[in-house]
Amino acid sequence: MKIFLRLALSLLLVLPLIACNEEEIIQNLKSERASLQARVDSLNTQIASAEALVKNVRVIRDTVRAGEGPFHLFTRLKAQVSHGEEDLGRVYAAMQDSVEFKLRVGEIFYVSVDSTNRVQRFRYAPNPITVHLVSKTDTGFVYKLVEKPVVKKQSVYEGALEEGSTLNGILFKVGIPGRMVGIVSGVLQCKVAFPLARAGDRFRVLLEDSYYQDSIWVGGKVIYAEFDGRIVGHHEAFRYEDEDPKSSYNAHYTEAGDALVFDGLRYPLEHLRITSSFGSRIHPITGQRKVHYGVDYGAPAGTVVHAVAEGNVTVSGYDDLSGNKIAIKHRDNSVSWYMHLQSRGVAVGAKVSPGQAIGRVGSTGRSTGPHLHFGFKDANGAWINPLSKTMIATPKLEGARLARLKKQVVEIRKQIELTQAAPAVRANDTTDVMVHMRVVE
């Protein structure tokens, strides 16, 4: 009896607690169910609208023909959609600071349109692994870069110069694919004075080729080149890879970090990604011919801009077209220009040193997105292509970049060993020469 009472008492005490907890749990479950139901409803709506879209989508496909530029292509596309000028104008605006159109014959463009013939999507793939997509969203057209995975193969080629044979001829003879011969000889010639090269001088080259779906060649690069000459001596070139795959620092260097390139300006940005090069072009939408008196580099707003060489600031101001702009006059009386800046850090009359921070990337003036417009005037005041400008210091990797190169040199030496130990296979489809080759990733 006593026990029963105690049990009843304790039950009386506990029951309300259980009841209370259960109520809470049930309440929670109910609200969870309601929120799940809401998600299901919203997904169903999305599925329905996506299905409707797919049902009504029509894909227009067009191919680049001989002698055509973007204007020809966009003109044809504009004629095939309603509101072509407006929609394709917005498509172009969404990607113009990210994509440079270098059209090749046979390249295919896709434009998807809805049932009202309005543009929904634009697709441009300059190679099998790079796809530029512009899609219509609630907030307008949005650009996206899609990069597909590739398989990389490394091969080692070795040989010696022969009497009466050209360098290119020998490179081809040892199995280097025709498409890479010019690049390899360019790298070798950076350091080696070939009039002084002699028959019997030896060379060794490590190439890396990228393939899409294992068979479609999408690109190759010279990872390493070595030349050992009786008169010219021993030289090595290492391919440096910056953090940014599009950086112009990606080039060949000696182990000490000396660039094996001929032009020698400092770079205005840490990462160089050209979105529009120098020269005359036709606007793909308006058809107007315009000359672009500089190079555009895409970069996030706020990125530090550096002076490309020593000089005096002759302009630090603002106008509606160029936005915030800075001009620096150099020793040879050429002038470098930096435009659309978010902010300027130097005043007229200031002396600047090579590589000095002078401002930040922005989108001021006539600009559709953050980028640096970098221009160069020669001593006579004419605009020239900044990329063809040669003067001042030879670029040399320093600091963190030099440390990165040193690590890569160690890695490259390992790769040469590994590749040389790999089984020999036929170098390519057009030769019987055997080379050591291995798949890297």
Q: Report the interhelical angle of 84-95 vs 70-80 (nearest 10°).
A: 140
- Using CB under 5 A, which of the segments 55-63, 93-101, 102-110, 288-296 binds Zn ion? 288-296
Is 296 a residue that touches Zn ion (CB under 5 A)? yes
Q: In whole angstroms, how close is the CB of 94 to Zn ion at the nearest point?
A: 17
* Residue number, 16 or 279, with CB nearest to Zn ion: 279
* Residue number, 16 or 300, with CB nearest to Zn ion: 300
Q: In whole angstroms, how close is the CB of 374 to Zn ion at the nearest point?
A: 8
Is 306 a residue that touches Zn ion (CB under 5 A)? no
- Site size toward Zn ion (CB under 5 A) is 2
DSSP state at residue 387: G
Q: Which residues sit opposite 325 in a β-bridge?
A: 317
Question: How far is the C-alpha of 266 from the C-alpha of 244, rounded, in Å?
Answer: 17
Q: In whole angstroms, how close is the CB of 276 to Zn ion at the nearest point?
A: 6
* Residue number, 124 or 338, with CB nearest to Zn ion: 338
Is 97 a residue that touches Zn ion (CB under 5 A)? no
Q: In whole angstroms, how close is the CB of 295 to Zn ion at the nearest point?
A: 7
Question: How far is the C-alpha of 239 from the C-alpha of 254, rounded, in Å?
Answer: 9
Rounded to a whole number of angstroms, the CA Rg of the chain reads 31
Is 436 a residue that touches Zn ion (CB under 5 A)? no
Which tokens sit at 254?
């000696």
Q: Which contacts (CB < 8 Å, 24+ apart) does range 380-388 have?
A: 381/335, 383/293, 383/294, 384/334, 385/277, 385/278, 385/279, 385/295, 386/265, 386/278, 386/294, 386/295, 386/336, 387/263, 387/277, 387/278, 387/295, 388/263
* Residue number, 306 or 373, with CB nearest to Zn ion: 373
Q: Are 235 and 189 in contact (CB under 8 A)?
A: no
* Residue number, 78 or 373, with CB nearest to Zn ion: 373
Nearest to 361 by CA among 310, 326, 386: 326
* Residue number, 35 or 286, with CB nearest to Zn ion: 286
DSSP 42-65: HHHHHHHHHHHHHHH-EEEEEEPP
Main-chain phi, psi angles of 166, to 5 degrees: -80, 160
Q: In whole angstroms, how close is the CB of 231 to Zn ion at the nearest point?
A: 47
Token pair 């953050």 is at which residue? 370
Nearest residue by C-beta to Zn ion? 373
Q: In whole angstroms, how close is the CB of 293 to Zn ion at the nearest point?
A: 8
Q: In whole angstroms, how close is the CB of 97 to Zn ion at the nearest point?
A: 9
Q: Which residues between 364 and 393 bind Zn ion (CB under 5 A)?
A: 373
* Residue number, 242 or 296, with CB nearest to Zn ion: 296
Main-chain phi, psi angles of 101, to 5 degrees: -85, 110
Q: In whole angstroms, how close is the CB of 373 to Zn ion at the nearest point?
A: 3
Q: Detail the DSSP E strand segments found in 16-97.
A: 58-63
* Residue number, 277 or 343, with CB nearest to Zn ion: 277
Give the interface with Zn ion as residue ranges (CB under 5 A). 296, 373
